[in-house]
Amino acid sequence: MSLAIDVEAGVATITLNRPEALNAIDPETRQALKQAWKRVHEDEDIRVAILTGAGDKSFCTGSDLKKTMPPKESFAELMFNRAESDHLLAGLDTDKPLICAINGYAMGGGLELALACDIRIASENAQFALSEVRIGSIPGAGGTQRLPRAIGISNAMLLLLTGDRVDAHEALRLGLVSQVVASHQLLQTAQAIAERIAANAPLSVRAIKRLVYQGMDMPLYTGMDHERFAFGLLRDTEDRIEGRVAFQEKRQPKYKGR
């Protein structure tokens, strides 16, 4: 099976499972990823998802060029005449937090998958690159848009225009990842973060994620307006009351997402 998904205690762990191909994404894996994101989005028992790769050599090196043939359809047909997109990131949009545990290579589409996640943790042997410019192409799954937002325009331009590779510690310095840990601690670290998030009020978590991303494209005063509106929506929820009662009673809150 090219992709595995395991759900426990509100955390879904999605594992790209083609270590023999450096977890490159073939058509089967692409469809499995789409179904995994659909499950994450729709399953109320899932509060947080972790995306990682099998083995300790590679998180993902992007599309498997040996198994991904050029489409027969014209670009217009693919854009306007297909019921569902087969884009690498199709179905990934969700208000639930996504954590990427990057073990080894994150190249091309693999780095773009990581950039589409909210929190990125890397192993010490991780390496990162968007080197499409070297083969006469461009990052086509959000790389030119998400990388500047993650690390700033100058740093992003340096990587995008040269196609250079950076290691985990340089990625940490640039702000591309939040933490760098030993390989054997990577999944454990990601799971600990996911569990802390999953223990929080799910409506609050989802509202915060939506507000952050929407606010990045708004003037500050408009973003503040949206924040105030979301605060009002959450004010009278059962979970907000439960949070206060649990604090008063010195116990862990039991959130229900309502």
Asked if residue 122 lies in contact with residue 172, where contact means CB atoms within 8 angstroms, the answer is: yes
Model confidence pLDDT, tens digit, residues 66-102: 656 566 666 666 666 665 566 788 878 899 999 999 9
Instruction: Tell me which architecture the domain covering 202-248 has in CATH.
Output: Orthogonal Bundle (1.10)
Q: Which two tokens stand for residue 214?
A: 């929407």
pTM above 0.85, yes or no: yes
| Alpha-carbon separation of residue 44 from 48, 171, 209, 229 (angstroms) | 10, 33, 17, 24
The predicted pLDDT at position 90 comes to 80
Name the one residue in this structure whose structure tokens are 């909210």: 118
Domain chopping of the chain, boundaries = 3-198, 202-248
170 is catalytic: no
Q: Which fold has domain 3-198?
A: 2-enoyl-CoA Hydratase; Chain A, domain 1 (3.90.226)
Name the one residue in this structure whose structure tokens are 């649990």: 246
Residues 186-194: what's their mean pLDDT? 97
Measured distance CA(103)–CA(190) in Å, rounded = 11
pLDDT exceeds 60 at position 238: yes
Model confidence pLDDT, tens digit, residues 88-141: 888 788 999 999 999 999 999 999 999 999 999 999 999 999 999 998 899 988
112 is catalytic: yes
Residues 169-185: what's their mean pLDDT? 96
The predicted pLDDT at position 188 comes to 96
Mean pLDDT for all residues in the chain: 90
Model confidence pLDDT, tens digit, residues 19-33: 999 999 998 998 999
On the CB side of 12, CA atoms within 13 Å amount to 24
Q: Which one of the listed residues 112, 124, 227, 238 is annotated catalytic?
A: 112
Q: Which one of the listed residues 20, 73, 84, 132 is annotated catalytic?
A: 132
pLDDT-derived band at 241, boundaries 50, 70, 90: confident
Starting from the edge strand earliest in sequence, which strands make up the sheet with 179-181, in order?
A: 3-8, 11-16, 48-53, 98-102, 119-123, 179-181
Measured distance CA(99)–CA(121) in Å, rounded = 8
Higher pLDDT, 15 or 256: 15
Measured distance CA(102)–CA(106) in Å, rounded = 7
